[in-house]
Amino acid sequence: MSTTTLAFALCLLCAAISLALPLNSPLLQAYDYIVVGGGTAGLTVANRLSEDPSVNILVLEAGPADHGEDFITVPGMIGNGIGTIYDWNLSTTAQTSMDGKPRDIPQGHGLGGGSLINGMLWSRGEIDDWENIAELGNPGWTWSQMLPYFERSERYWELASEELSATYSIETNTSVHGSVGPVNVSFSDWFWPTSQFLFSALNELGVPTAFDSNDGQIAGASYLPLSLDPIDASRSTARRAYYDSIAARPNLWVATEQYVTQILFDGSSANPNALVSTSDKVPSGGEGSSPGVPGGMFGQTIVSASDYVARRTRRSVPVLQKWWDGVKGLARRQNMAVGATTIRANGVVFAADAGSPREIVTATREVIIAAGAFHSPQLLLLSGIGPAAALQTLKIPVNIDLPGVGSNLHDHGQVWAWYPYNDSAIVTPMDFITNSSFSANAWTDYQGNRTGPLTSTAYDGVAFPALAFISNGSTAITDAASTQTATQYLANNTDGSVGLGFAQQLRMLTQALSDPTRAAYEIINGNDGALTVANMRPLSRGSVVLASPQPFDPPPINPRYGSNPIDAQVLLAALRFNQQLIATDSLSQLDPTQMFPPPAASDDEILQYIAASMQTEYHPAGTCAMMPLALGGVVSPDLLVYGTENLRVVDSSTIPMLPAAHLQAVVLLTFYDSTLGRGYHTRSKQRKPSDVVSVYVVFAPAYHDRGLAIR
């Protein structure tokens, strides 16, 4: 190599280094795109947008960047991230159709969102789930149209050992997997022993095996792959997959521990509460304050959040003041219903905590909300987009009267059931707690050579039975569902359009429950005798609203678990079927004991057990539904918020009706397709063909039990 070439190469290297932007670099005053939420959806969008070097992107994430803590990286520790700084620690309102108690509902709070704390299970749902989503008014969202995006997300690793593949009924359907995507999707070489017995038991009772649970035909028993790096046996988070790999891009800014309080629009009114700090006082510390972030896991220089805010504040407060003075002079457009006119988002207001000064940053092209099923609708409401009457009650100026915002909340409700095995020779995840040498050996193996039980999670085998498999020919449940009227079990204040949207969903849900080839519920094997059951076709619908116009007040979340009685009836049938399962030749070898629900319980007693136990399966969705406006929808099939020209929502809140899947791998596509000429460039100004945004979006946390405190 000549000296000149060497100098040139060094020069390029220097340029690359000097251009790279560490996490929390000082911000510009304007970006082409602002992404609200650096979780699974937001980081994916930011990654794809920043492929174009001519545009600048800012991601604002409320939570911190992780430090590679064991409870994040070690698969065997799933569940231990819940209730930490990486969790929003939200709870629901009192669940009056159940036992009247609220439920915890974890949500990822950190760079990577739910993928930091979820259960790592990787599945996509059924072919017909996506046909249904398309039928709900969303052309472009069928299974075959989504498949290329499912594939591009994955680097799928087949189980290397043929013997293990045969023993555990895992066969790869090569036509549905990707091999060069960012997320490692794989199986651990370590299997807990009990799923094999469960699968035989299911087969004995007529439930088949689904050999590859990601090919859209899932109504059977399957080992689900994990978001797992199989070489170092660590969690493949959205941060690792979509941010660390491109952190050096000079056009991507990522700021952590920054809460967006409001979206701003050209010529429209603002919510004053979301614009000014609640106090001029320095916050007293604790929740809501921003401790410095000492250092990064992957070598970035992480500036302490307080330095960061101090620096920014000096620059931005005059701008904010000027902007606010301008807004005050504008005539407020109260009660703007969605019509021919659209409004244009031009920036966001954010702050480190409730007491910190608000800052403003401008978006010249788009604002993209990826804050999850609770915080995305919350942010729309705070910004004056939602049901006009509710906004007016809180004295929030109405920018767009959009009744669907926050409604249609649903989740896979799950009920834990426990049949502990008396056979002490069976190794179970309980051994981490009851057997100290088992636990010590597991850590030695994991740390020494990345082998052993900590390389996998407690939940490996699952099944997605059809109702027909378990009901002995009875159609009582589906008959009851088909006689319901759409509004019968919706909350009384539900908007008419939302009721019409649910009518469409109810028809599809009833059909799915009646179809012998489609999943009705899920059985999740905890390998310790737990056979948790979860509704895959929940009929209950709830809402997220605002308690106040203050952005730092958590939004009241009411999933209304069990408000539609069909959901509990399906789980009653599922728990009865569990009893048959433990009595099979196969599972009875493990000597299971019926503990919960209690033995010999009547149907009423089991329903009471369900009422006391039903909780989230960590899959909240639907609150900014992608559906036509007349059906209570909030975003169009290209994920634009109705009535806006450049505001999108791209996360699980847009899923109109949940697929039978763990949401992390569920792939959404925000599109720009220059050949079809739809989406992006047909709607927004300043668009260039290079604005390709083919996005896979990973949704909310999927994790199955607060479970075991390992170690």
Using CB under 6 A as the binding rule, whether residue 144 contacts ligand NAG is answered as no
Site for ligand NAG in 42-81 (CB under 6 A): none
**Rounded to an integer, what distance in angstroms lies between the CA atom of residue 687 and that of residue 685?**
5
The count of chain residues that interact with ligand NAG, using the rule CB under 6 A, is: 44
3-state secondary structure 203-231: HHCCCCECCCCCCCCCCCEEECCECEECC
| Cross-strand partners of 524 | 462, 532
Contact track, ligand NAG, 222-251, x by CB under 6 A: -------x-xx---x---xx----------
Q: Which residue, 118 or 316, is less far from ligand NAG as judged by CB?
A: 118
Residue 109 touches ligand NAG, criterion: CB under 6 A: yes
For residues 131-160, b (16+ Cβ closer than 10 Å) or e, as one string?
bbbbbbbbeebbbeebbebbbbbbbbbbbe
303 is in an annotated binding site: no
Angle at 377 between CA 371 and CA 381, to 5 degrees: 125
**Could you tell me if 567 and 613 are in contact, meaning their C-beta atoms sit under 8 angstroms apart?**
no
Please report how close the Cβ of residue 449 comes to ligand NAG at its closest, in angstroms.
4
Q: Among 472, 548, 588, 686, which residue interacts with ligand NAG (rule: CB under 6 A)?
A: 472
Q: Please identify which of the residues 109, 375, 412, 662 carries the catalytic annotation.
A: 662
Closest distance of CB 346 from ligand NAG, Å:
29
Check if 67 is active-site: no
Binding mask 156-195 for ligand NAG (x = CB under 6 A): -----------------x-xx-----xxx-----------
| Residue 375 falls in the annotated catalytic set | no
Q: Are 239 and 112 contacting, i.e. CB atoms less than 8 angstroms apart?
A: yes
The smaller minimum CB distance to ligand NAG, of residues 230 and 347, is found at 230
Q: Which range of residues in 213-221, 349-357, 630-638, 693-701 is near ligand NAG by CB under 6 A?
A: 213-221
Three-class DSSP category at 510: helix
Residue 336 one-letter amino acid? M
Find the shortest distance in angstroms from Cβ 654 to ligand NAG. 24
* The token pair that represents 576 in the structure block: 């009865």
Q: Which residues contact 475 (CB under 8 A, 6 or more apart)?
A: 514
* Cα separations in angstroms, 47 against 35, 53, 177, 347, 465: 11, 11, 21, 20, 37
Kindly give, in sequence order, each residue whose CB lies less than 8 Å from that of residue 409, ignoring residues fewer than 6 positions away. 373, 541, 542, 543, 544, 557, 558, 559, 560, 620, 621, 622, 623
Distance CA 705, CA 521 (A): 17
Task: Write down the least CB distance from residue 247 to ligand NAG, Å.
Answer: 12
Among 277, 313, 441, 511, binds ligand NAG (CB under 6 A): 441
**Positive or negative CA dihedral for 679, 682, 688, 689?**
positive
Q: Which of 177, 410, 412, 619 is catalytic?
A: 619
The reply to whether 593 sits near ligand NAG by the rule CB under 6 A is: yes
Binding mask 484-513 for ligand NAG (x = CB under 6 A): -----x-xx---------------------
> Which residues have C-beta within 8 Å of that of residue 446, sequence separation ≥ 6?
74, 76, 233, 452, 454, 455
Q: Please, what is the minimum distance in Å from the beta carbon of residue 162 to ligand NAG?
A: 17
Which residues are tagged catalytic? 619, 662
Which residues are at the interface with ligand NAG (CB under 6 A)?
A: 83-85, 87-89, 109, 173, 175-176, 182-184, 215-217, 229, 231-232, 236, 240-241, 287, 422, 435, 437-438, 441, 444-445, 448-449, 451, 470, 472, 489, 491-492, 573, 576-577, 580, 591, 593
